[in-house]
Amino acid sequence: MINRNAYRSGPDDFKPLVEEQPVVLLRLDGTIYALGAVCSHYGAPLNKATVVDRTIKCPWHASRFALEDGRVVQGPACAGLPVYDCKVVNDQVQIKLRH
């Protein structure tokens, strides 16, 4: 399988969201989650995904990824998503790549 996110990177220090890295933000139960916005399976836009049982569900082939760590919960995807730590500074969400 091809991982559509294999070469994605992100800031190593907290920075405001940038267009170069597609990121989807979700707020659930007061927690902000930031995940790569491209499905690792076939490149679907995860900004069109739905949230199901603390996962994000791909709109094309129904792969599901855990909000907490981006791992695959249901295939056909085999690779997880990039995950970002978040903080809010002056009402602006900032992210950094979780290693």
Residues 6+ apart with CB under 8 A from 89: 14
Q: What pLDDT score was predicted for residue 42?
A: 87
Residue 30 lies in a domain: yes
- Do 85 and 92 meet the contact criterion of CB atoms below 8 Å apart? no
Residue 1 lies in a domain: no
- Do 60 and 49 meet the contact criterion of CB atoms below 8 Å apart? no
Report which residue type is found at 93.
V
Q: What pLDDT score was predicted for residue 18?
A: 72
pTM of the model: 0.86
Q: What pLDDT score was predicted for residue 4?
A: 64
Q: Indicate which CATH number applies to the domain containing 43.
A: 2.102.10.10
pLDDT above 70 coverage of the chain, percent: 89
The total of structural domains in the chain comes to: 1
How far, in Å, CA of 24 to CA of 2, rounded? Answer: 21
3-class DSSP state of 35 = strand
The list of the chain residues with pLDDT below 70 reads 1-9, 19-20
